[in-house]
Structure 1
């Protein structure tokens, strides 16, 4: 590239435009995630709070996800087109350039507006002296297109190896599905209506919702929309929750009046779904993180469920700290896991997860199962679920628990929960993208009745 063009300013001074604000926000989120190890979800939440227009909030999220689904491709363009690597002090500039590339490909936003707004974002970030470079690189990307790379180049080798070992026939489809943008799934609050009526409301405002067999409260939107555009969202008539996560409550099959525990409750989707199904439940929502437990309360308040549950902040494995000794009829353990089934929604998992994490997570999951089993009433059921696709966290974890726990028995779940990895009594696995849903594992365990467990 010509050095004069490289370092020149854009043709004329530009004033700050509203379109630059979401690009600035996306740049700051990506800088935090890529260069400082921060959580995408947390950084997005913080950045979106500073934007008034829901369309801007949606654009920030879309840009960040597009970058993190293929960062190696964008970095290859920088390596090929820049005369020298960016210095450490220019990490924010790297993030801005990735924001620009993502808008052009794969997002396909109108090129002139995307380039102009991204160049203006450089000025808004105090990088006036680099605005010309941003302009030149983005225009080159328009002319030449971004370089093609080998598929899945940004995936850690250790994770690819584990997926290939666990799912040899499905490994390629898992990786490919995990890099695709997912549909938007809604859960209709049956305390305030039903999905058929809500679908009609969506149609009336120009939003197409798809009814899915086997998911009694769900609608799928193949073209996602900002939540502010959903009728009745603020009033609690609908929530955003993937179809696979909604299936957890189906696996529990609770009845009114039951004493129920959601053992790792934040941010509250499954606990809320339980109460939407059966408002008379005696529900305890437990989470180790007091701050995240406040999210559960916020969720309950929006849905009109604020007075219907007991919220406790404690380590679920420390029974003395929270359990009153009264057994639960049903427990859901949405266990901490590798999140390898939801990479399409949280692509920063590929940046932050380490192979050593897996053994630590497997050990924690085992401790949670052993501790919570003590709180389950004879004859009661525990549903163990993760958003992982790694078998050590899923069917092998359950097989090990059943082998060491004499009063436990696995119960079969129907095919609608996914495939049986080895033995249907060891749970069901849904892989990413199957039926448009996230990767999820489900197992239902039954505790022997008192007359049997006491023998």
Structure 2
């Protein structure tokens, strides 16, 4: 909790946890992140002058979120964490006493929690007067979604506040969906086909216990993200760029389609190494994959001057479409990040467009639901990039509209030779 408050990704923090307790810490952390607005509102009511220090505040918020579990709530596809109130209060006080930053506030934490238990109904009623508590998102986020989707905003927020399902993409180089479905049924794991190559599990499972993990039959990938590889019609021998590639899920999808000469580019060398790890587990041809560390917007740092036949540009974004899987995102972002990220996206796209052959295909992808990173960017590309022609693509995918996917945006463009007559057939 404290690390996220300081701006660190929850994924990064959890990866540093000892393996034996990581799953438990993740489950509790995810639950608290989804109910953080409620915890903050209650803390504001209980602490007139605010928390005396950040770590004490994080401890109090965590316990308030766990004490205020509502009967109808669910977390991570299961029942929410339930503990006896006296156990939570006792362990919170004990935990406070074990750290020099919080030891002096044991009495204050005890008093706050006991007051909450005495006045729970009244305090909860006051907390739920706040829109961020009712929806579980920052107020600016709620306003932005409501403005963008006036008839859908409630279902979008409700869906994004709940845990997402565990979805697999079948590795078609090794097996087929029917085989995996049969293996799941043999282990009494309920599942439903989705999309062209996907399977949604009825209940999340540890990946190591799902049939086919060691054999590389599948990778975990949201149904929305699976669309990327299917939208680029690749053929053997093509020169392809996967920009902003790490950790390699979409890279794998491209390699399942055709035997291409693929360059995987990412600015983060550590994350880029995971591309090879994932391809090795899946048994995909990684020998022909060139890994390059570089800033996509700065061509001299990575491009050899040879143009590409196709480019997948999974550009950096606010990740507003995947908050049900990464609930810390909504608390790490600021409203200004939308404009800042959109400007970065345009710099990257403009640079990458230079590396595309005339006649080549360019797939723009973001895991965002904000129009500034989606439909507005497509309009900018169509009117700004030389020779850009829009082709049919899904556009904005929204969660909570009777679908099992996260929020994504897709735009597909062809780079037409400027000497050719404009193609308006699309």
TM-score bracket, normalised by the shorter chain, equals 0.7 to 0.9
Matched, 1:325 2:305: yes
1:77-88 correspondence runs (5 A): 77-80=42-45, 85-88=50-53
- TM-fit CA distance, 1:141: 5.2
Show CA shifts across 1:155-195 (max 9, x none).
33333332222222212222222111111111121222112
> Once superposed, what is the RMSD of the aligned Cα atoms?
3.1
Contact 2:92 2:109 (8 Å CA) reproduced: no
SS of the equivalent of 1:33 reads: helix
Unmatched segments (≥5 aa) in structure 1: 1-29, 418-427
CA separation of 1:318 and 1:84: change in aligned 2, threshold 3 A: closer
**Aligned CA distance change for structure 1 residues 109 and 119 (closer, same or farther; 3 Å):** farther
User: Given that residues 265 and 296 in structure 2 are in contact (C-alpha distance below 8 angstroms), is that contact kept between their aligned partners in structure 1?
Assistant: yes
1:44 aligns with 2:24: no
Q: Which residue of 1 aligns with 2:260?
A: 281
Mapped partners of 2:30, 2:114: distance in 1: 19
Q: Please say if residues 189 and 202 of structure 2, whose CA atoms lie closer than 8 Å, have aligned partners that are also in contact.
A: no
| TM-score normalised over the length of structure 2 | 0.84
2:412 is the counterpart of 1:441: no
> Using a 3 Å threshold, how does the CA distance of structure 1 residues 120 and 191 change in structure 2: closer, same or farther?
farther
For the residue of structure 1 that corresponds to 2:409, the secondary structure is strand
1:37-84 Cα deviation digits (max 9, x unpaired): 21112112222xx123xxx54333222222111212223344556798
SS at match of 2:200: strand
Q: Deviations over 1:334-367 (max 9, x none)?
A: 1111111112222222222122222221111111
310-319 vs 57-66, greater mean Cα deviation: 57-66
Aligned length: 403
Q: 1:260 aligned to 2:240?
A: yes
Matched, 1:290 2:255: no
Q: Partner residue of 1:147? A: 124
Q: For structure 1, which segment, 312-321 or 105-114, has the greater mean C-alpha deviation from structure 2 after superposition?
A: 105-114
What is the CA distance between 1:247 and its match in structure 2? 0.6
- Given the superposition, is the C-alpha separation of residues 190 and 119 from structure 1 closer, same or farther in structure 2, using an over 3 Å criterion? farther
1:93 alignment partner, one of 30, 55, 59? 59
Question: Which structure 2 residue ranges, 5 or more long, are not aligned?
Answer: none
> What TM-score, normalized to structure 1?
0.79
Question: CA 1:125 to 1:249, structure 2 compared with 1: closer, same or farther past 3 Å?
Answer: farther
1:340–1:390 contact (8 Å) kept in structure 2: yes
Within a 5 Å distance, the mapping from 1:40-79 to structure 2 comes to 40-47=10-17, 50-52=18-20, 56-79=21-44
In the TM superposition, 1:37-436 aligns within 5 A as 37-47=7-17, 50-52=18-20, 56-80=21-45, 85-88=50-53, 89-98=55-64, 100-101=66-67, 106=73, 107=75, 108=79, 111-112=82-83, 116=87, 119-120=90-91, 123=94, 126-127=97-98, 130=106, 137=113, 147-148=124-125, 149-150=128-129, 151-153=131-133, 154-212=136-194, 215-278=195-258, 280-305=259-284, 306-413=286-393, 417=394, 428-434=395-401, 435-436=403-404
Shift of 1:127: 3.5
Distance 1:134 1:344, change over 3 A: farther
- Cα deviations by residue, 1:179-234 (Å, 9 ceiling, x for unpaired): 1111111112122211221111112222111112xx22210113111212212324
Show CA shifts across 1:245-282 (max 9, x none): 0011111121222111001101111001211232x111
Deviates further, 97-106 or 441-450: 97-106
